[in-house]
Amino acid sequence: MSWKDVVMSDKDAKSVMAQNLEAWEQVAPIHARHNQDNLLKAFSDPGFTLLDDVAIGVLKALEVADKDVAQVCCNNGRELICIERLGAANCVGFDGAEGFVEQGRELANAAGSQARFVCCEAHAFPPEYHGTFDIVLITIGVLSWMPDIDRFMASVTRLLRPGGALFIYEHHPILFMFEPGPPKGPIVWELSYFDKSPYLEKDGLDYYGGESYDAKPATSFSHTMAEIIMSGVKSGLRVEDFTEYPTHISNTWYNLESAELGLPMSYTLVFRAPDPAPPLVSRPRGPYLDANANIPLWRHTCSKV
């Protein structure tokens, strides 16, 4: 199937998002059963962090200390709480599953964190949060759940203050070309980089314990690097930094990591929202200036030569 053959209406896209959120809500207690107690214990240590050196480096470059930070599709908020520990000020996590929002609140309480968590769909952030954040964060696994990357990016951009930064840290879309597998597993070419066929996941979303359950279906989508970058540009943002890494940050594709093929496996992308327009400065007119356009009269003269 050609990428041109796959067209999804707004109604279908909203239906897919609703279906995905049902699947995400369903798996929340399963994730908690595998991981929540360990995280509660870990966050009781004030020095604990889950952020890797790449994330910390970018956040420090963005001068995260004293900045207001939001995380979109934040899961249980573990990364956001770690960002607060870097000195961030007001931290808010948004997720579409109430089960994960509740887990985030539990972790924040254990960590002594002031981070807040809001349950909402990623295209419907409450208006009171629009234009209130210096940094907005998107991490691994979010973009592939979005059927319309342009619509999603436009929604996220509304959260930024003028001059604010959108920081994306994701697995590289080139990975979708390969069938994931265990370490030392075979490398199997599965899809074209440009394939736009939706992928229906029926085996569940327990990437912690691999538990089998009567899972609700979830649909994911592949977006090229160009589409991801241009979605930000179309939303009025400018690219400030884009870096690719050989580092494996996902819970799959261990076969590619162990094969050391030299592929990019993750990336960071920083967009910047426009600064507010500087105020217009009124210049005094003098006898040497055009009274209508504030242009020196000699320029008019020279233009006629």
Does the residue 292 lie in any domain? no
Does the residue 124 lie in any domain? yes
Greater model confidence, 107 or 7: 107
Q: What CATH number is associated with residue 33?
A: 3.40.50.150
Provide the token pair at 220.
Answer: 């994911």
pLDDT per position as a tens digit, 231-244: 999 999 999 999 99
- Please tell me the distance from the alpha carbon of residue 237 to that of residue 226, in angstroms, as a whole number: 14
Residue 208's identity, in one-letter code, is Y
Number of domains making up the chain:
1
Q: Is the pLDDT reported for residue 64 higher than 50?
A: yes
Helix (H, G, I), strand (E, B) or coil at 191: coil
Does the residue 180 lie in any domain? yes
Query: Of 188, 100, 109, which Cα lies nearest the Cα of 142?
Result: 100
Helix (H, G, I), strand (E, B) or coil at 239: strand
The β-bridge relationship of strands 266-272 and 160-171 is: antiparallel
**What is the average pLDDT value for the chain, to the nearest integer?**
89
Does the residue 86 lie in any domain? yes
Contacts for 94 with CB less than 8 Å, ≥ 6 apart = 70, 71, 72, 73, 74, 117, 118, 119, 120, 122, 125, 129
What pLDDT score does 202 carry? 86
What pLDDT score does 264 carry? 97
Helix (H, G, I), strand (E, B) or coil at 13: helix
Opening angle at CA 273, ends 245 and 101, nearest 5: 70
Q: In what order do the strands lie in the sheet with 160-171?
A: 116-119, 91-95, 69-72, 133-138, 160-171, 266-272, 238-245
Does the residue 291 lie in any domain? no
What pLDDT score does 294 carry? 47
What pLDDT score does 251 carry? 85
Q: Please, which residues bridge with residue 189 across strands?
A: 178
Range of weakest confidence among 63-72, 153-162, 245-254 = 245-254
- Please tell me the distance from the alpha carbon of residue 213 to that of residue 168, in angstroms, as a whole number: 31
Range of the domain at 159: 3-277
Q: Is the pLDDT reported for residue 303 higher than 50?
A: no
pLDDT per position as a tens digit, 283-293: 555 444 444 44
Q: Is the pLDDT reported for residue 10 higher than 70?
A: yes
What pLDDT score does 172 carry? 97
Provide the token pair at 256.
Answer: 């590619």
- Please tell me the distance from the alpha carbon of residue 157 to that of residue 149, in angstroms, as a whole number: 12
Does the residue 200 lie in any domain? yes
Does the residue 284 lie in any domain? no
| Number of Cβ within a 10 Å radius of residue 209 | 11
Residue 195's identity, in one-letter code, is D
